[in-house]
């Protein structure tokens, strides 16, 4: 390993910090999976683990500040004509530490220290309410609020009391002519297509003049919980979410010439906005609403990557909802930030 | 007139390509001009000394030459890498001398073959071998100055800029500095220091900076 990279890794993560991270992971596992303490939720565990990359972000910010006080920027200007060696090493170092942190997050589960209860047996899927509209033309319009996992399905309750069709002839179908036969006394189960899951909206239509009535209050979206073996994939998602943020931190610090701790704060703000799930809420008016609208605008300008940081109680709904294009866009944003960070620093003002 | 040119810099130019060219460089601090526009040229293997008292703009001049301050008037051109000995060096005190120089050696833009002197040679130039594994923070002021010099000599920069390099050096340190300058066949060396502090014999005098009249 080259001395620059080794020096950066040692400075960011001395043994005291390594112990702190290991203890933090153990605590997270205890609070999530312990028989008496734990919330028995993978989403809770992922939420605790996601704190560590953020701590790492601020830690790197403070190390960048310290290195600036130690005269490293001067040495870079003096020794490196194109100025890319130090930021590239810092980026590689950040990626290694991020990867190691998330791998550490797998340790309590993989080692069997905290056997995670497998909640994905189908016994306890998540049921989510959503908006249902009826336009009076016997079209059932469903708005799921946002992208949902491809594995989700609709559970619909149909009232047959005014039905004019026999159960054998009753059909509910979508515009692309996929159909399902409703059976009296049973829930209508509609598996979402990839497009429907992505858009989060769909239209279904029963037979014309069938008299089938949709019980809107009883409509549910059923989302299977990710299984225990989904943990590596979900941690990889966190890796993809946080990796560009370290490049953005370096860009703030090096190109924006902002102090490392403030750069970390600015990056954390971007991360918070990127992780914000948008839902159709009327924001109203007033200064707070104006601020919220501004945040929404910034959020819309960023790639839709909130699904990569699926944590907490809504993680089942967000996990695996990020489109590949969103991930590509997010990584490209990180690439752009890294390119900015590797540009040679101009002399400071006299 | 704040600068007295005691000898034309061009008289020191040899036949090779200039490593450092300074044309009509104006220096100012806090909106106040420090010296009259300066002209200077150094080629590989050449050495030069600039005298200047307190507040005459020596450090501002050196920091402008090595791109740490912007050029506001005139032009500075240099070829290749610069080794700079600042008057007030800053170090990562928690690193050992060897670890720090290893990292700086890696930072150098020069190809590995050309990075001579390497870390052990640079330590040897200033008799720092016995302190190679000591944290920099544990060194005395004099040994820190030797580290300051070793850092500048590392990886064979084409231009060495020394700002009061004699600071805190004992006679053996001064001798090591003199030997290192004499051995620097490839690098051009420019020294700034006050007159009479021990640097007078390190290089031929190029010019003398004087503080502004009102300072």
Measured distance CA(B208)–CA(B215) in Å, rounded: 16
Cross-chain residue pair B69–A350, CB shorter than 8 Å: yes
Domain B1-80+158-215 has CATH 3.30.470.20: no
Answer yes or no: is A347 within a domain: no
Q: Which residue has the higher pLDDT, B130 or B206?
A: B130
H helices of chain A, in order, are: 3-12, 15-33, 42-69, 72-79, 85-110, 194-199, 231-254, 260-274, 287-301, 315-318, 324-341
**CA-based nearest residue to B14, from B43, B38, B54, B47:** B43
| Same domain, residue pair A49 and A84 | yes
Per DSSP bridges, beta strands B159-163 and B82-85 are parallel
Q: What is the per-residue pLDDT across B32-67, written as a single tens digit (0 to 9) for each?
A: 777 778 888 888 888 899 988 888 888 888 888 888
| Domain final position from A224, A245, A273 | A224
Measured distance CA(A246)–CA(B6) in Å, rounded: 53
Answer yes or no: is A32 within a domain: yes
Confidence check: pLDDT of A230 > 90: no
| B157-186 burial code (b ≥16 CB/10 A, e <16) | bbbbbbbbbbbebeeebbebbeebbeebee
- Among A131-145, A214-228, B130-144, which stretch is predicted with the lowest mean pLDDT? A131-145
Q: What are phi and psi of A134, to 5 degrees?
A: -130, 115
Shortest distance between the Cα of A246 and any Cα of chain B, in A, equals 21
Shortest distance between the Cα of A349 and any Cα of chain B, in A, equals 6
Shortest distance between the Cα of A18 and any Cα of chain B, in A, equals 18
Residue in chain B lying closest to A66 (CA): B92
User: How many structural domains are present in chain A?
Assistant: 2
| Per-residue model confidence (pLDDT) at position A121 | 43
| Domain final position from A190, A224, A258 | A224
CA distances (Å), origin A349, targets A257, B64, B86, B169, B178: 12, 11, 18, 32, 34
| Same domain, residue pair A80 and A185 | no
Residue in chain A lying closest to B81 (CA): A79
Residue in chain A lying closest to B151 (CA): A75
Q: Which residue has the higher pLDDT, B203 or B211?
A: B203
Answer yes or no: is A350 within a domain: no
Can you name the residues that pair with B57 across neighbouring β-strands? none
Answer yes or no: is A105 within a domain: yes
Tell me which residue range forms the domain holding A65. 3-118+227-342
3-state percent breakdown (helix, strand, coil) of chain A, nearest 5: 55, 10, 35
Q: What is the per-residue pLDDT across A69-102, written as a single tens digit (0 to 9) for each?
A: 998 888 888 887 667 888 999 999 999 999 999 9
Contact A246, A57 (CB under 8 A): yes
Q: Which of B89, B95, B155 is nearest residue A79 as measured by Cβ atoms? A: B155
pLDDT, mean over chain B: 82
pLDDT band at B30 (very low <50, low <70, confident <90, very high): confident
- Among A321-335, B52-66, B168-182, which stretch is predicted with the lowest mean pLDDT? B52-66
| Same domain, residue pair A150 and A178 | yes
| Same domain, residue pair A160 and A35 | no
| Same domain, residue pair A137 and A104 | no
Quick one: average pLDDT of A188-216?
A: 84
| Same domain, residue pair A293 and A254 | yes
| Domain final position from A206, A224, A242 | A224
| Same domain, residue pair A16 and A88 | yes
Query: What residues in B contact A80, CB-CB < 8 Å?
Result: 107-109
Confidence check: pLDDT of A291 > 80: yes
| A171-180 burial code (b ≥16 CB/10 A, e <16) | ebebeeeeeb
Where exactly are the structural domains of chain B? 1-80+158-215, 90-156
- Among A62-76, A256-270, B22-36, B147-161, which stretch is predicted with the lowest mean pLDDT? B22-36
């Amino acid at each position: 390993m080259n001395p620059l990279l080794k020096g950066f890794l040692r400075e960011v993560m001395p043994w005291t910090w390594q112990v702190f991270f290991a203890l933090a992971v153990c605590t997270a596992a205890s609070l999530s999976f312990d028989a008496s303490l734990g919330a028995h939720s993978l989403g809770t565990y992922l939420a605790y683990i996601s704190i560590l990359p953020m701590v790492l972000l601020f830690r790197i910010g403070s190390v960048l500040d310290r290195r600036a006080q130690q005269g490293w920027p001067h040495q870079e200007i003096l020794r490196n004509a194109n100025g890319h060696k130090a930021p590239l090493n810092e980026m590689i170092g950040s990626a290694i530490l991020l990867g190691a942190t998330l791998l550490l997050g797998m340790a309590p589960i993989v080692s069997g220290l905290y056997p995670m209860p497998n909640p994905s047996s189908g016994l306890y899927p998540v049921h989510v309410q959503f908006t249902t509209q009826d336009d009076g033309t016997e079209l059932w319009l469903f708005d799921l609020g946002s992208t949902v996992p491809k594995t989700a399905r609709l559970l619909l309750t149909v009232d047959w009391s005014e039905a004019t069709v026999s159960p054998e002839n009753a059909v509910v179908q979508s515009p692309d002519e996929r159909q399902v036969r409703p059976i009296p006394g049973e829930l209508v189960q509609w598996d979402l297509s990839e497009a429907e899951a992505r858009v989060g909206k769909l239209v279904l239509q029963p037979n014309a003049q069938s008299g089938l009535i949709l019980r809107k209050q009883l409509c549910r979206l059923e989302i299977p919980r990710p299984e225990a073996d989904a943990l590596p994939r979900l941690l990889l998602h966190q890796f993809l979410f946080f990796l560009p943020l370290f490049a953005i931190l370096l860009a703030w610090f090096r190109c924006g010439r902002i102090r490392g701790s403030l750069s970390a704060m600015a990056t954390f703000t971007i991360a918070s906005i990127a992780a914000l799930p948008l839902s159709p809420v009327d924001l109203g008016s007033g200064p707070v609403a104006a601020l919220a609208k501004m945040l929404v605008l910034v959020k819309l300008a960023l790639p839709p990557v909130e699904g990569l940081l699926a944590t907490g109680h809504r993680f089942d709904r967000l996990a695996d909802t990020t489109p590949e294009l969103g991930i590509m866009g997010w990584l490209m944003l990180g690439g752009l930030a890294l390119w900015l960070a590797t540009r040679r620093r101009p002399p400071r003002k006299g | 007139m704040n600068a007295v040119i005691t000898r034309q810099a061009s008289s020191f130019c040899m036949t090779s390509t200039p490593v450092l060219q300074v044309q009509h460089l104006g220096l100012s601090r806090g909106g106040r001009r420090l010296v009259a526009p300066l002209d200077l040229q150094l080629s590989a293997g050449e050495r030069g000394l600039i005298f200047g008292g307190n507040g005459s703009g020596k450090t501002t001049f050196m920091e402008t030459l090595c791109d740490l301050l912007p050029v506001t008037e005139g032009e500075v051109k240099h070829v290749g890498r610069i080794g700079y000995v600042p008057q007030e060096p800053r170090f990562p005190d928690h690193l050992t001398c060897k670890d720090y120089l290893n990292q700086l050696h890696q930072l150098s833009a020069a190809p590995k073959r050309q990075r001579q002197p390497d870390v052990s040679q640079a330590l040897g130039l200033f008799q720092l071998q016995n302190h190679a594994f000591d944290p920099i923070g544990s060194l005395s002021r004099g040994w820190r100055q030797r580290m300051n010099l070793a850092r500048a000599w590392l990886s064979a920069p084409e231009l060495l800029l020394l700002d009061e390099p004699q600071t805190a050096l004992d006679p053996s340190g001064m001798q090591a500095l003199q030997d290192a300058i004499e051995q620097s066949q490839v690098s051009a060396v420019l020294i700034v220091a006050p007159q009479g502090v021990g640097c007078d014999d390190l290089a031929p005098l190029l010019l003398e900076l004087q503080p502004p009249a009102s300072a």
